[in-house]
Amino acid sequence: MSRNRERVIETVENVFSQSEKIAPEDMMFSYKGVLYPAVLSSPETLEALKSFETRSDDVILAGYPKTGTNWLGEIMRELESTDAKYTEEEMKERINAEKKLETFSRLEFGDPGIYERMKKLPSRRIIVTHLPPPLLPPSILQSKAKILVLVRNPKDTAVSYYHFYNSMPVLPSFSSWDEYFAAFMNGKVTWGSYIHHLVEWNKYIDDERIMMISYEELKEDQILGMKRIAAFFRFNLCEEDFIRIAQMTTFQAMKEKSKETHGKFGDILFRKGVVGNWRDLFSKAQNEEMDQKFEDCLGGTKLAAKMKYDMYCKA
Ligand code: A3P
């Protein structure tokens, strides 16, 4: 087991228990023009985040919400721990350190003191964040640490986030898809505009410390995707390891175990896990609006080619 399940469930229970106490207008706060969920972070935490000290062997995973960060996070934990060959005792110590230090599964979650406590976590730390480059602590982009960037086609990401917003009791619900779609396109959702995230990450596409992978690519051939990731981080795994990790991280396998791994959050998180679900909700006009925005902001870029927009997003 490479994941601190108790800590995840404790966080989920804590977050859900606050939902009855918090009014919809207090569910989000704005920091430097971007919205964040109030039960998970605060302006003070985002201010303190600047002091985060990156280690050169940190394994960093960055992805906008709903791009599949929980899936790839689990894959990363399995790849890392298989390469490290932690003994059962070492694994227990790593899990206990996270529990004792009360760290979170996302870099920008928690109280402002978390970055001091994270200094005491054993290496290699796996750091997951939803933040785009301009909002990351400076040490991440200045250090030698490698960053894996996860992207997903913007239409499925939008649909996934819509359902998430309306299922999460600690986020304000939208009264309709149309109302939500306007907010998504204008970046008026937590973590801001997805297109803006993509534009910012595209600036790093040739950086050798950064690797981009797409949700769709992992769905097409997870083993190939994991081999590329392992080569990038110089993890040494054998064919059987890749097969085992692929089997334990299928959507079905993770969904079936989700009560154990994510408590109540599991039913919300593991929704459909497919490519192309946007076709159920996007109107013709919304399709055109997204296609135009993508073309205006990312048309002709290497990231657009990597994301295969025409294949996954054109009606
Ligand atoms: P859907 O809502 O389209 O089903 P995140 O973890 O960043 O919040 O992303 C959540 C999305 O990843 C959800 O998409 C979820 O179903 C999908 N997902 C989670 N685990 C997955 C897995 N093992 N395989 C494929 N998709 C998965």
Write down all domains in the chain, each with its CATH number in brackets. Answer: 5-152+204-274 (3.40.50.300)
In this predicted structure, what is the pLDDT of residue 2?
56
List the residue whose alpha carbon is closest to atom 24 of ligand 1. Answer: 251
List the residue whose alpha carbon is closest to atom 3 of ligand 1. Answer: 160
Residue 279 CA, ligand 1 centroid: distance in Å: 17
Residue 275 CA, ligand 1 centroid: distance in Å: 10
List the residue whose alpha carbon is closest to atom 8 of ligand 1. Answer: 66
Label the pairing between strands 210-214 and 146-151: parallel
Whether residue 5 contacts residue 258, with contact meaning beta carbons closer than 8 Å, is answered with: no
Q: Is the CB of 261 under 6 A from ligand 1?
A: no
Whether residue 36 contacts residue 219, with contact meaning beta carbons closer than 8 Å, is answered with: no
Please identify every stretch of the chain with a pLDDT value under 50, giving residue numbers as ranges: none
Whether residue 310 contacts residue 188, with contact meaning beta carbons closer than 8 Å, is answered with: no
Q: Is the CB of 45 under 6 A from ligand 1?
A: no
Q: What one-character-per-residue DSSP string does 64-133 give?
A: -TTSSHHHHHHHHHHHHHHHHT--HHHHHHHHHHHHHTT--SSTT-S-TTHHHHHTTSPSSPEEEE---G
CA atoms in the 13 A half-sphere facing the CB of 179: 8
Distance CA(315)–CA(155), nearest Å, equals 11
Residue 269 CA, ligand 1 centroid: distance in Å: 6
In this predicted structure, what is the pLDDT of residue 129?
98
> Tokens representing 17?
């228990």
Ligand 1, residue 160: give the atom nearest the CA. 2
In this predicted structure, what is the pLDDT of residue 3?
67
In this predicted structure, what is the pLDDT of residue 16?
85
**Mutational test site, ligand 1, from 109, 168, 271, max ligand atoms within 8 Å of CB:** 271
Distance CA(80)–CA(237), nearest Å, equals 9
Distance CA(80)–CA(69), nearest Å, equals 16
Residue 6 CA, ligand 1 centroid: distance in Å: 21
In this predicted structure, what is the pLDDT of residue 233?
98
Whether residue 68 contacts residue 218, with contact meaning beta carbons closer than 8 Å, is answered with: yes
**pTM of the predicted model, to two decimals?**
0.97
What are 66-88's pLDDT values in tens digits? 999 999 999 999 999 999 999 99
**Peptide bond between residue 124 and the one before it cis (omega within 30 degrees of 0):** yes
